[in-house]
Amino acid sequence: MKQIPKFESEEEERRFWLEHDSTEYVDWSKARVGLFPNLKPSTKTISLRLPESMLAALKLLANKWDVPYQSLVKVFLSERIESELQKHDPQRIER
């Protein structure tokens, strides 16, 4: 196996792996599944316009479930996205 070089930055490493085959540097037969339970996903702030009645209903539901309404929106979106992806790819493994 070739030695993986030291990189000065993530950008340099990214360019390296775009141009090189990792099988020359890593024995993938010894790879194991890694679990990172405390890793927080990156988030991006967006602006979303909703009808006032829909926002009021979301806030009402969120209040009944004792969660912030933005969190409830994320749960609803996540469930629907997974459902739609499952329809189009039944072999998909749920996270």
**pTM of the model as a whole:** 0.54
5: its two tokens: 């070089």
Are 21 and 58 in the same domain? no
Are 23 and 56 in the same domain? no
Distance CA 71, CA 87 (A): 25
> According to the model, what pLDDT value does residue 89 have?
76
Distance CA 63, CA 20 (A): 52
pLDDT tens for each residue of 1-45: 999 999 999 999 999 999 999 999 999 999 998 888 888 888 899
- Residue 88 inside a domain? The answer is yes
Q: Residue 53: pLDDT band by 50, 70, 90 thresholds?
A: very high
Are 26 and 49 in the same domain? no
Domain assignment of residue 58, given as a range = 43-95
